[in-house]
Structure 1
Amino acid sequence: MIKNKPRIRIVMIVLILALLAGTAAWRIYNAREQATLTVQPLAVTTAEVKQMQKPNTLKLTGTVEGLTSAIISSRLAGKIDQILVEDGQTIQKNAILLTLDAVELANSVRIAQNNVRQTEANFNTAQADYQRYYNLYAKNAATKQQLESAEARMITSRTEVDNAYANLNNAHKQIADGSIVSPVTGVVANKAATIGQVVSPGTTLLTVEQIDQVYVVVNVEQKDIAAAKLGAAVTAAVDAYPSQIFNGTVAVINPVAGGESRMFRVKIKIDNPEQLLKPGMFTQATLTSGEPKTVIAIPRSAIMAQKGLHYAYVATNGQAKKTLVETGDLIGDLIEVKTGLQPGMAVVIDNLDKIKDGDALLTEGGTSR
């Protein structure tokens, strides 16, 4: 038995070595299988980097203003008797907006009429006196001084009649001004008047905004003002109607830059027959400033943002290459790329969140290089 112990030990060692070798072989095989699975290419879609014509435009932020913003106030002091309009109401030119208490105004007219009758009577008397003295003077029955005094009284009476008629016209004008009318066709806004309110001359009561045409007012920097020419075509968009574009033209250019901003105030006139654009709305205006430019562009979906930088995955020889790019303006569904790519390259446009630099790719579309 003692002689067999070395043999048994040898057999056990061989078995242990065989077991270790098998385990190692199995691990190597499993690692190879895992490696084979790891390098399976990711199916992605690519698009070719292309050159295209980019419109040469200037994008500006502006505010809508009515073509005319009429500030309505009273010419007279008085108490508001009626208010005939509300905010948002469309009214025509010369429509009555509100009226003042007319009792005092009517009394002023009556007093002026009485003054006219009195001065006319005085004038008739003075005229008759002058005629009598004229006849007496012709017969040497009155002195020249008496004739001249009678003539002076007649002239004074005529002046008093003219003044009385002027006062009567003013009284009638005040009666008319007691009915406050709109100077333009437009929409009532910012009504601050209330019935019974006592107003002073010049007090703002409401505004009437003429908005069948409107201005989009923008501020243009000095370096861009050359692009803003009278009559230049402009398009405008507002958040309220995201699918609608409003067409207009440059109508007014302030020739003096703002004292603080050093920017030029430019007004763009836009037809607004349906009154969709309303004063105070913010707009994005696009001004065509020259001939189109040739640029490089890729689909917007190919851009990945990380820590304030933009990247694209370029498909090269079946692998993904993470590439830093500098982007420009949006052009529809495409985005301008200023640096980092060349025409003819293929960029990945989907599964960006699943790709790492150097990953194998199975591509569709585009052109790999």
Structure 2
Amino acid sequence: MIKNKPRTRTVMIILILALLAGTATWRIYNAQQQAALSIQPLAVTTAEARTTQKPNTLKLTGTVEGMTSAIISSRFAGKIDQILVEDGQAVQKGATLLTLDTIEMANAVRIAQNNVRQTEANLNTAQADYQRYNTLYAKNAVTKQQLESAEARLITSRTEVDNAYANLNNSQKQIEDGSILSPVTGVIANKAATIGQVVSPGAALLSVEQIDQVYVVVNVEQKDIALAKMGAAVTVNVDAYPDQTFTGTIAVINPVAGNESRMFRVKIKVDNANQLLKPGMFAQTTLTAGEPVTTLAIPRSAILTQKGLHYVYVATNHQAKKTLVETGDLIDNLMEVKAGLRPGMSVVIDNLDKIKDGDALLIEGGISQ
């Protein structure tokens, strides 16, 4: 029995070594399998960077303004008696917007009328006196000085009558102005008046916006002002109607640049028969500046943005290479690329959230622009 112990120990060592070798082999195999899985190519679609024609346009953001914005106010102090309109209401030129209490003004008219009658009576008396003095002077019954005094009273009476009529006209005009009328056809806006309010001359009560036609006002930089020409066609878009494009023409070009911005104010006239464009809206305008230019572009879906920078994954030898690019304008569904790519390079357009730099790619298909 004692002789068999070395042999048993040897067998035990062999078994232990075999177990260790098996474990190591299994670990190596498992690592190889994991590595094989980790380099499994990712199926993607690519597109080539190609040249395309980009419209030569100038894009500017502007603000919609009414063709005419009439600020309504009173010519004199008074209390509002009636308000006949509300914000958004369409009105015609000459329509009554509001009225003022005219009792005091009516009294002023009566006083002015009485003054007219009194001065006319004085004038009649002065005329009769002058004629009488003139007759007596011809008979040497009065002095020349008395005749001249009678003539002076006649002239004064005529002046007083003229002043009385002027005062009466002013009083009657105030009565008329007690009904405040719309100076243009348009839409009521910014109504700040209330019944019973005592208003002062010139205080804004509301406005009437003429919006059958509107202006879209933009500011153009000095370097681009030569592109803005009177009568040039401009397309206009607003966020409120994303599927609709309005057409206008350049109607006003301010010849003087702003003191602070050094930009030129340009007005684009747009027909607005349906009154869809409202004063105060922001608008995006596009002005054709010349012939189309050739530029490099890729599908916009290939662009990946990180921390304000734009990247694409270039497919090179079935491997993804993360590449920084400088983008330009959007051309339909394409994005202009100013730097970072060359014509013919293939960029990945899908599964961008699953790709890392250096990943293996299985290119299942490509698209043409």
The two structures have a TM-score, normalised by structure 1, of: 0.89
Amino acid at match of 1:81: D
Partner of 2:316: 316
1:14 Cα offset (Å):
5.4
Counterparts of 1:240 and 1:83 in 2: how far apart (Å)? 31
- Give the percent of matched residue pairs that are identical in Structure 1 and Structure 2: 82
- Measured against aligned partners, the alpha-carbon deviations of 1:323-343 in whole angstroms (never above 9, x if no partner) come to 111111222222111111112
Amino acid at match of 1:104: E
Q: 1:111 to 1:307 in 2, by over 3 A?
A: closer
C-alpha contact 1:112 1:171 (8 A) present in aligned 2: yes
SS in 2 for 1:239: coil
- Measured against aligned partners, the alpha-carbon deviations of 1:119-166 in whole angstroms (never above 9, x if no partner) come to 222222322333334444445555444443333333332222222221
Partner of 2:350: 350
Partner of 2:271: 271
1:225 Cα offset (Å):
2.5
1:263 Cα offset (Å):
2.5
Structure 1, 12-21 or 44-53: larger mean CA deviation? 12-21
Partner of 1:250: 250
C-alpha contact 1:58 1:286 (8 A) present in aligned 2: yes
1:3 Cα offset (Å):
6.2
Partner of 2:341: 341
C-alpha contact 1:42 1:360 (8 A) present in aligned 2: yes
- Measured against aligned partners, the alpha-carbon deviations of 1:32-86 in whole angstroms (never above 9, x if no partner) come to 4444444332211112212111122233232222222212111111111111112
Structure 1, 74-83 or 26-35: larger mean CA deviation? 26-35
SS in 2 for 1:231: coil
SS in 1 for 2:214: strand
SS in 1 for 2:260: coil
Counterparts of 2:94 and 2:367 in 1: how far apart (Å)? 69
The two structures have a TM-score, normalised by structure 2, of: 0.89
1:20 Cα offset (Å):
5.0
Partner of 2:236: 236
Amino acid at match of 1:72: I
- Measured against aligned partners, the alpha-carbon deviations of 1:161-206 in whole angstroms (never above 9, x if no partner) come to 2222211111111111111112112222222222222222112222
SS in 2 for 1:201: coil
Counterparts of residues 151-300 of structure 1 (less than 5 Å): 151-300=151-300
Structure 1, 258-267 or 4-13: larger mean CA deviation? 4-13
Structure 1, 58-67 or 319-328: larger mean CA deviation? 58-67
1:102 Cα offset (Å):
1.0
C-alpha contact 2:79 2:199 (8 A) present in aligned 1: yes
Structure 1, 11-20 or 216-225: larger mean CA deviation? 11-20
Amino acid at match of 2:193: A
1:260 Cα offset (Å):
2.5
Partner of 1:51: 51
SS in 1 for 2:213: strand
Counterparts of 1:183 and 1:41 in 2: how far apart (Å)? 74
C-alpha contact 2:44 2:365 (8 A) present in aligned 1: no
1:231 Cα offset (Å):
2.4
Q: 1:117 to 1:313 in 2, by over 3 A?
A: same
C-alpha contact 1:347 1:366 (8 A) present in aligned 2: no
Q: 1:24 to 1:200 in 2, by over 3 A?
A: closer
SS in 2 for 1:161: helix
Counterparts of 2:93 and 2:152 in 1: how far apart (Å)? 49
Counterparts of 1:29 and 1:152 in 2: how far apart (Å)? 134
Partner of 2:362: 362
Q: What count of residue pairs does the alignment treat as equivalent?
A: 368
SS in 1 for 2:52: strand
Structure 1, 251-260 or 170-179: larger mean CA deviation? 251-260
C-alpha contact 1:346 1:367 (8 A) present in aligned 2: no
Is 1:110 the counterpart of 2:120? The answer is no
C-alpha contact 1:214 1:271 (8 A) present in aligned 2: yes
Counterparts of 2:199 and 2:23 in 1: how far apart (Å)? 103
SS in 1 for 2:151: helix
